[in-house]
């Protein structure tokens, strides 16, 4: 962030899967519009659109963004914005975690949807790093020790917190529901349910 750009952490695999589904759905919707002329086509279209909402909420929306003022965690349905002054700890367990103070002065814990890992996956990544370290000079290999993707992300965020904590004022962390995310699921979900009910009643 030396150039002033925010740090953005996202899951490449989730984004690729989401864009693949959106591309597939677009093709299928075009085909349904051209050839479908019954209630089954309406149901299929509604299911595809609901799937697009899921792809957005689960694959494209989640991210962690950090700038000079705050760290923001976008989970599938909620947004957590924490000014650096409200951060109490940034940790790596099975997920990236931020402990912060809310407007009532209560300490809360936010977990990021992205960068989650199981103990088995973490052990596998650490094993891969150790194997890679054997091929490198000792000084470089020492820097790789325990440097998983999750651990590296936490290190970068901790560095930013230390650098900007005094400059972000005394604002508390805030948790809010995401209206676009809720709309992306509720509206297609209601339409899909209505289409299924109509198909059954016909």
pLDDT one-digit tens code per residue, 32-67: 988 877 889 999 999 999 999 999 999 999 999 999
92 domain residue, yes or no: yes
Asked, for residue 115, whether it belongs to a domain, the answer is yes
Provide the pLDDT for residue 97.
95
| Residue 169 predicted with pLDDT over 90 | no
- Tell me, yes or no, whether 191 lies in a domain: yes
- Biggest CA–CA distance in the chain, Å, is 72
Answer yes or no: is pLDDT of 145 > 60. no
Give 172's DSSP letter.
P
- Residue 168 is predicted with a pLDDT of 55
Q: Is residue 2 part of a domain?
A: no
What single string gives the DSSP state of each residue in 106-171?
A: -EEEEE-STT---HHHHHHHHHHHHHHHTTS-HHHHHHHTT--HHHHHHHHHHHHHHHHGGGSTTP
What domain range is 126 assigned to? 7-201
Please check whether residue 142 lies inside any domain of the structure: yes
Number of folded domains that form the chain = 1
Q: Averaged over 2-20, what is the pLDDT?
A: 88
- Residue 201 in tokens: 């009643």
pLDDT category at 140 given cuts 50, 70, 90 is very low
Q: Can you name the residues that pair with 65 across neighbouring β-strands?
A: 8, 72
Residue 135: inside a domain? yes
1 in a structural domain: no
In terms of pLDDT, which residue wins out, 113 or 167? 113
Q: How would residue 131 be classed by pLDDT, with cut points 50, 70 and 90?
A: low
Report the distance separating Cα 58 and Cα 133, nearest Å: 34
């Amino acid at each position: 962030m030396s150039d002033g750009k925010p740090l953005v952490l996202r899951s490449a695999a989730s984004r690729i899967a989401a864009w693949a589904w959106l591309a597939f759905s677009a093709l299928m919707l075009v085909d349904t519009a051209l050839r479908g002329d019954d209630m089954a086509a309406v149901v299929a279209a509604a299911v595809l659109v609901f799937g697009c909402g899921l792809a957005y909420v689960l694959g494209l929306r989640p991210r962690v963004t950090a700038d000079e003022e705050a760290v923001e965690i976008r989970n599938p349905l909620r947004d957590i914005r924490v000014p650096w002054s409200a951060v109490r700890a940034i940790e790596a367990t099975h997920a990236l975690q931020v402990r912060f103070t809310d407007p009532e002065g209560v300490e809360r814990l936010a977990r990021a949807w992205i960068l989650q890992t199981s103990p088995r996956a973490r052990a596998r990544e650490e094993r891969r790093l150790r194997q890679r370290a054997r091929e490198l000079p000792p000084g470089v290999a020492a820097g790789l020790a325990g440097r998983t993707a999750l651990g590296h992300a936490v290190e970068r965020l901790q560095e930013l917190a230390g650098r900007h904590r005094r400059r972000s004022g005394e604002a508390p962390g805030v948790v809010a529901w995401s209206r676009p995310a809720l709309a992306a699921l509720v509206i297609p979900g209601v339409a899909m349910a209505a289409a299924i009910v109509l198909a059954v009643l016909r």
